[in-house]
Amino acid sequence: MVEVLPVRAFSDNYIWMLIDASKQFAACVDPGDAKPVNQFLEQHRLKLSHILLTHHHFDHTGGVSSLVQQHQPMLFGPATETLPCQPVKLVEGDKIQLETHQLELSILDLPGHTAGHIAYYGAGKLFCGDTLFACGCGRLFEGTPEQMHHSLSKLAALPENTEVYCTHEYTQSNIQFALAVEPDNPDLQKQQHWVEQQRNKDLPTLPSNIGLEKATNPFLRCDENTIKAAANRYAGKTLDSPVAVFSAIRKWKDSF
Ligand code: ZN
Ligand code: FE
């Protein structure tokens, strides 16, 4: 049994810490800052065994060099991106073993936010960086709408109870947008209520899960009639494919 806990960094990043059953080791995902990771390790008396990187952005990699120097963890990252400290290069289909955690993780290629973005998936948990957010998705900095739509479709095909560990606390603003697209979605209304309670208590709204995202996330619902109609209204024309619908609502969100 692996326990997953968040470490906060910057204004809204989470660095997810995977703790092994004997509570000796932690692996971390996307350490943008070393300081809060070191505090967490000291507080919980854990040794940093692995660093897993999803993509090259600084808010996900800024702490890598100093953590590698201090702790010598195994370092993994996407094969096609430029990253600090030469990680083991991963592509879709690869599997990695975290022996300390008795955990196997499979790699998924998720181009869209960046060109080489990957996710780690195993034991019913998904670490998807800036690709899928609760009720939202990452901006298209390096990829096309086609690529991002395909990447999100891969994630939507995972079992519904898969826990989704995204890297940012964007849920509240994402829900505001999702409600503008789909005001009458009862699952979304319910989720808004819960998210507000969590945030009022300064608690995370993550992890989410794939079932909930399929019910509430407009970017996973591009073939639903409600989303299609809203996207058509936004675009001022009839959009003829789920990718066109995705592209329209992504554009809409960018200027929301
Ligand atoms: Zn990013
Ligand atoms: Fe980010």
Question: Which one-letter DSSP state was computed for residue 31?
Answer: -
CA 55 / ligand 1 centre spacing (Å): 7
> For this structure, is 184 an active site residue?
no
CB 89 within 8 A of CB 150: no
Question: Mean per-residue pLDDT for 103-129?
Answer: 98
The residue count of the chain comes to: 256
The pLDDT of residue 133: 98
**Mean pLDDT for the chain overall:** 98
pLDDT tens digits for range 157-174: 999 999 999 999 999 999
Ligand with the closest atom to the CA of 57: 1
CA 15 / ligand 2 centre spacing (Å): 11
CA 113 / ligand 2 centre spacing (Å): 9
Domains of the chain: 3-179+189-215 (3.60.15.10)
Predicted model pTM: 0.98
pLDDT tens digits for range 15-40: 999 999 999 999 999 999 999 999 99
Around ion ligand 2, which residues have CB less than 5 A away? 59, 130
CA 225 / ligand 2 centre spacing (Å): 31
> For this structure, is 117 an active site residue?
no
The pLDDT of residue 193: 98
CB 57 within 8 A of CB 130: yes
pLDDT tens digits for range 125-155: 999 999 999 999 999 999 999 999 999 999 9
Which position among 50, 56, 101, 113 bears the catalytic label?
113
For residue 248, the surrounding DSSP H or E stretch is: helix 242-254
Binned at pLDDT 50, 70 and 90, residue 10 comes out as: very high
